[in-house]
Chain A
Amino acid sequence: MSRFTLASLLAVALLASLVASVRFGSVELTTAEVLAALTSGDVQMHRDIVLQLRLPRALLGVLVGGGLALAGATFQALLRNPLAEPYILGISGGASVGAVTVLALGWAGLGSWSLPLAAFAGSLLAIVLVFRVATATGRAMDVRVLLLAGVVVAAFFSACVAFVLSISSARTVQTAVLWIMGSLALASWKSVLLAAVYTVPAALVLIGLARPLNLMAIGEETAHYLGANVEGVKRTALVIAALITAAGVAVAGVIGFVGLVVPHAIRLLVGSDHRVLLPLSFLGGAAFLTLADLIARLALDPIEIPIGVITAFVGVPIFLVLLRRSLEA
Chain B
Amino acid sequence: MLASVRERRHMRFEVRDLVVRYPGAIRPALDGISMTVPDGCFYAVLGPNGSGKSTLVRSMMGVIHPAAGTTSIDEREVSTWDRRELARAVGAVSQSETLSFPLTVREMVAMGRYPHLGPLSGESDADKEAVAAALAECDITEFASRDVSTLSGGERQRVRIARALAQQPRALVLDEPTNSLDIGHEMAILELLRRSADSGLTVVVVTHGLDLAARFADRLLLLSQGSVASEGTPAEVLTEPTLAGVYGWPVSVSTDPASGTPRVTPLRQGQV
Contacts and interface: CB of A to CB of B under 8 A. Distances in A.
Chain A: number of interface residues, binned into ranges: 20 to 34
Contact of B97 (A76, A137, A222, A267): A222
Interface in B138-175: 163-164, 167
Interface in A71-90: 76-77, 80-82
Contacts of B87: 225-227
B97 A211 contact: no
Interface string A69-109: 00000001100111000000000000000000000000000
A55 B99 CA distance: 42
B254 interface: no
Contact of A218 (B84, B111, B115): B111
A224 B63 contact: yes
Given A224-B83, A226-B167, A271-B104, A80 B98 contact: yes
B112 A82 contact: no
Given A212-B114, A227-B83, A267-B101, 7 more contacts: A76-B101, A77-B101, A80-B98, A80-B100, A82-B100, A208-B119, A226-B115
Contacts of A211: 114, 117, 119
Contact of A217 (B58, B63, B101): B101
A147 to B, nearest CB: 13
Interface in A193-231: 208, 211-212, 214-215, 217-219, 221-222, 224-229
Given A218-B108, A224-B83, A227-B114, A82 B63 contact: no
Chain B: number of interface residues, binned into ranges: 20 to 34
14 contacts: A80-B98, A137-B23, A211-B117, A215-B111, A215-B114, A218-B108, A221-B58, A221-B94, A224-B83, A225-B90, A225-B164, A226-B112, A272-B102, A273-B107
Contacts of A228: 83, 114
Nearest to B61: A225
B92 interface: yes
B244 interface: no
B84 A222 contact: no
Interface in A225-240: 225-229
